[in-house]
Structure 1
Amino acid sequence: MENRVEVLRKYIDEIILNMTDVEEKRCAYMHLYGVSQFCALIALKREENSELAIMAGMLHDIYSYATMDSNNHAHKGATMAKEILAKLNLTSDDESKLICDAIYTHSDKNLIHSNFNEVLKDADVLQHCLYNTMLEIKPHEKERYEKLKREFGIL
């Protein structure tokens, strides 16, 4: 049985490798794979599907990096992720819907969605906040970050 995460990772790597801006390429690797790892951690803790969460993390900002356009990236990214998952034939329709719905809502940090969607939002916040702990946390992520620190016993 093929490892779906690795198949997707190879596809994502090709998109990132074709980026011309070296700094954006570095950011893409760090952010997409950082979020996917935090998705695994949070999904395991909350008893959500960690494999699908990892895939959502890898795909959540792929539209921004593939097109260098972050305008409405969550909604456009959900569409792009659905196309990628269909092209690679990695997921069932239900799994694709779960992943793409999480991507679609991941920018709505002030709203609460399904437990699976919250995994991706929280992983995105953790990657932003833990990238460099000396940087100021963005106001729209502060409350969510504090809640995550409590959940993981970080005082």
Structure 2
Amino acid sequence: MNRLEKVREYVDNVLLKVLDEEYRRCGYMHLYGVSQACVMIAMKRKENAELAAIAGMLHDIYSYITMDTKDHAHKGSAMAREILNSLSVFESQEIEQICSAIYNHSSKENTHDSFDEVLIDGDVMQHCLYNPSFPVHEKEKARYEQLKAEFGL
């Protein structure tokens, strides 16, 4: 089993324990959706697509394990570090890169390093494409417009 599949297996086990069916469904849609958006953005920007997919899968893991979204990016970064270390298939610099992106993914008003930006933009893309008839959140409008221009949409 490759590394991304190991992370997906871990995430699936977490989501299967979510009792609320709607929240569980949203978890699958969001985590897998962000992961796939991250792959597309990473490929376009020549970043590491595998690590971007893994960051996308784990970026909100804290929220789904604890059912708490307060400071989930920072707490989720620490949790992701523990998960990635426990899987014993990642180099320390890969863990640092993934966890930095998770730590910064809620800070959409700032610009971060290029890999962190992949996760931030993947999160925005999934939010905005989930249902195109929903209004775009104010804090995501500028990024969403930049993403549409970048992808010629």
User: TM-score over 0.5 for the alignment?
Assistant: yes
Q: 1:90 & 1:120 partners in 2: Cα distance?
A: 21
Q: 1:57 & 1:124 partners in 2: Cα distance?
A: 8
| Aligned-pair CA distance for 1:90 | 2.3
Deviations 1:58-109 (A, max 9, x none): 0000000111000000000000000000011121100000000000000000
Query: 1:50 is matched with which residue?
Result: 49
Q: Which amino acid aligns with 1:77?
A: G
Question: Percent identity of the aligned residues?
Answer: 57
1:59-138 equivalences under 5 Å are: 59-138=58-137
Deviations 1:104-131 (A, max 9, x none): 0000000000000000000000000000
Q: 1:81 & 1:137 partners in 2: Cα distance?
A: 28
Query: 2:9 is matched with which residue?
Result: 10
Q: Which amino acid aligns with 2:121?
A: D
The two structures, once aligned, show a CA RMSD in angstroms of 0.5
Q: 1:145 & 1:127 partners in 2: Cα distance?
A: 10
Q: 1:9 & 1:106 partners in 2: Cα distance?
A: 19
- How many residues are aligned here? 153
- What is the TM-score normalised by the length of structure 2? 0.99
Deviations 1:1-21 (A, max 9, x none): x41000111111000001111
| Aligned-pair CA distance for 1:37 | 0.1
Q: 1:99 & 1:48 partners in 2: Cα distance?
A: 12
Q: 1:141 & 1:90 partners in 2: Cα distance?
A: 34
Structure 1 unmatched runs, 5+: none
Query: 1:36 is matched with which residue?
Result: 35
Q: 2:4 & 2:49 partners in 1: Cα distance?
A: 10
Q: Which amino acid aligns with 2:89?
A: L
Query: 2:140 is matched with which residue?
Result: 141
- What is the TM-score normalised by the length of structure 1? 0.98
